[in-house]
Structure 1
Amino acid sequence: MRWNMLVLASCLAATGCVGNSMSERQDDNIESSLQYDTVPCDQLLAQRNGLAQQYNLPTTAKPTFSNPAMGFGPFTPDVRSKAQRDTDKATGEIDAMNRSIDRRNCGKPDKQKKFSLPG
């Protein structure tokens, strides 16, 4: 009976971490870049630069992930401050914007076509 109670208590403790774990919340910071493909290039560049400036991040920011010990990621509670969570979310948005910018070649001047005589 004691063994069953111990297992039940540990299961309840583990389920209490679901939704608030470090690895789960860090995964939420990754965004799809497809949502930015409909935004005009100049507006997207301005939006990315403004977000980077607001959070004092470089325009080349990429999300980072913690390295929990030996598979305890889903059970490690997220103890980051709200400011750090907001900065990490902004990093994910900047990265998604950068992927859209790179894919569409925004901000790069068009290659000049050289005119030459045939022959």
Structure 2
Amino acid sequence: MRWDLMVLASCLAVAGCVGNSMSEQQDANVQSSLQYDSVPCDQLLAQRNGLAQQYHLSVDAKPSFSNPAMGFGPFTPDMRSKAKRDADQASGKIDAMNRSITRRECGKPAKQNKLALPS
């Protein structure tokens, strides 16, 4: 029994050290929104909508994180399918685009300066 536990622990440790752990890969899906600030609003909205449509995601998608049991996150190998990993990465991009869109107030009509006489 002890030998089996030792082998299992070493396999989990090696799997986590390879750089393919579940938590490491999920953390990589979170992106900075600053990279999208130089993209014009209309193009950014079109990119976000296209990405959401391509991966069948909502335009309000956010990256998801699993909850591994008992602190084994860094040692749990990423066993998601390639399609799931790509969709999770796309949701991270969509979230970053949404933060840029919100910060720059894209899609909102420009404020109009009305000249009116005081009453």
Instruction: Please report the TM-score for the alignment, with normalisation by the length of structure 2.
Output: 0.86
AA aligned to 1:14 is: A
AA aligned to 1:25 is: Q
Confirm whether residue 46 of structure 1 aligns to residue 46 of structure 2.
yes
Show structure 2 runs of 5+ residues with no match.
none
Instruction: Among all aligned residue pairs of Structure 1 and Structure 2, give the percentage whose two residues are the same amino acid.
Output: 70
The 5 A counterparts of 1:74-93 are: 74-93=74-93
Confirm whether residue 104 of structure 1 aligns to residue 104 of structure 2.
yes
Which residue of structure 2 lines up, in the alignment, with residue 3 of structure 1?
none
Task: State the alpha-carbon separation in 2 of the partners of residues 13 and 69 from structure 1.
Answer: 13
Q: Name the SS of the counterpart of 2:16 in structure 1.
A: coil
Show structure 1 runs of 5+ residues with no match.
1-5
Task: State the alpha-carbon separation in 1 of the partners of residues 31 and 110 from structure 2.
Answer: 28
Relative distance call for 1:61 and 1:10 in structure 2 (3 A) is closer
Q: How many residues are matched?
A: 115
Which residue of structure 2 lines up, in the alignment, with residue 62 of structure 1?
62
Please report the RMSD computed on the Cα atoms of aligned residues, expressed in angstroms: 2.1
Instruction: Please report the TM-score for the alignment, with normalisation by the length of structure 1.
Output: 0.86
